[in-house]
Amino acid sequence: MHQLLKKILFHKQFQKLSIYGFGQLFNLVTPLLVIPYIVSVCGEENFGKSAVGMAIAFFLIVFVDFGSDIIGVRDVAVNRDNSEILNKIFTTTYLVKAIILIAVLVITSIIFFSFPYFQSERQMFFLGLLVLVGQFINPTWFLQGIENVKWITVLNIISKTIYLFGIFITIKKESDYIYINMWWGIGMIVSNTLMFILVLRKHQFSFLSVNKSDVVHHIRKDFSMFSSQIFVSLQLYAPVVLISYFGNNLMAGQYRIVEQIIVIFKTYIFLFFNYVFPKVCYLIEIDYKKGIKNWLIYNGANLILIAIGMVFLYTFSYEIVSYFNPTNRYILSNLLQVAVFIPLILAISIPLKQLILALNYKLFYVKLTSIMVVINLITIVVLLPKLQVYGVFYSLIATDLIVIIFYLYQLKKTQKLL
């Protein structure tokens, strides 16, 4: 037993996972530290306003990424041993991201000045655009592909530390909520710039070799995956905007508090996906059976862990929501008991998505994602007036269950789950 434990602890993969997990702990703990403070100083309604601003910024991130968080990771993982191809992937991706960033900043600026919904909180929305600049610089997608978890860990620690200090130093009165998203963006810009420079120096990448045809080919090649990610991003961030627009900012704040509790587990699931995805792609490419075996082991253990966490949240829902200083604790407690099913379902659907993408069923994934997200958003708008925030969670649960069914059908039809 001692030898087995020693073998596990000193196994290279376990060490990588431990380092990666330590870094991601900052992503999970940071909201627990700042949200009670923000709610107590700014109130639930203003917290709801900042949540809308952050949701819009996070939605726009999908444009700036342009599929690099999936296709880029996969391409880097598969070609990790070819420095010439890596240089082309890295430089072309950043040139495409630069073009899109400029376009997004121009268009969103026009929208913020033109529509009354944004004009009243224009300063907050503009400050939130710093998040897009930070995401443009972000080299995490490349580091994931080459499985450099140490640098990813350092990046996360620096980013979240800056965010924490910024919040506690500058948020002192109710009207300071407009600076919340700004500090998230500043943390990203500083940490990502540091890592970007380190990547350039270590791999000696040069942007001089990129030509126009490479950029055009990259845009055409990744457009379908990018378009599907728009729908994924809508599903993640549109609900709080819809609640604010069709309901009110207080409801948006309540949704955000409950969502922020379960997002700890959702974030963990997505980060786990990011960690395992390159390895699954690589192993399936060279040894299909070994890739599937690793996929089952990693995600099976992860599902058990998530299930234990959801039982804990359900049991102690009142005590947990009380920590965030809200005024409607019983309502939020009941909402949390419904919302706990979302991470549990995600712990099944995300691994299946991982396998679908690793097996290169991109067209199927794009079609299914697009259709289900549209259905989900329509359902939210229909249920919101009658069921309020409950309707949002019911819609999210139902659509994710349907997605799981279609994933399993596709894998079984092609006998790729055997």
Domain locations in the chain as residue ranges: 2-413
- Scanning the structure block, which residue is given the tokens 């019983």? 330
- Asked if 193 and 137 count as a contact pair (C-beta separation under 8 A), the reply is yes
Distance from the Cα of residue 305 to its chain's centroid: 20
366: tokens are: 């794009």
- Print the SS3 string covering 190-222: HHHHHHHHHHHHHHCCCHHHCCHHHHHHHHHHH
Which tens digits make up the pLDDT trace of 326-341?
677 888 899 999 999 9
75: tokens are: 């391409």
Task: Report the alpha-carbon distance of residue 172 to residue 150 in Å, rounded.
Answer: 35
Listed ranges 98-102, 116-120, 287-291; the one with the highest mean pLDDT: 98-102
At residue 225 the predicted structure's pLDDT band, cuts being 50, 70 and 90, is: low
At residue 10 the predicted structure's pLDDT band, cuts being 50, 70 and 90, is: very low
Alpha carbons within 13 A on the beta-carbon side of 55: 25
- Asked if 141 and 73 count as a contact pair (C-beta separation under 8 A), the reply is yes
- Triad 272, 19, 349: Cα angle to 5°: 5
Short-list 222, 235, 42, 226, CA closest to 121: 42
pTM: 0.73
Q: Report the chain's mean pLDDT, rounded to a whole number.
A: 83
Residue 252 has pLDDT above 90, yes or no: no
Mean pLDDT, residues 303-307: 88
pLDDT of 178 reads 93
Distance from the Cα of residue 92 to its chain's centroid: 23
DSSP 279: H
Which tens digits make up the pLDDT trace of 21-62?
666 677 777 877 888 899 889 988 888 889 889 989 988 998
Residue 167 has pLDDT above 90, yes or no: yes
Which tens digits make up the pLDDT trace of 378-415?
999 899 888 888 998 999 999 999 999 998 888 887 66
CA dist list (Å): 97 to 67, 72, 136, 137: 10, 12, 6, 9
Local structure of 95: helix, strand or coil: helix
DSSP 414: T
Local structure of 287: helix, strand or coil: coil
Which tens digits make up the pLDDT trace of 120-159?
888 999 999 999 999 999 999 899 888 788 888 888 889 9
Task: Report the alpha-carbon distance of residue 20 to residue 140 in Å, rounded.
Answer: 12
pLDDT of 4 reads 42
Task: Report the alpha-carbon distance of residue 197 to residue 64 in Å, rounded.
Answer: 19
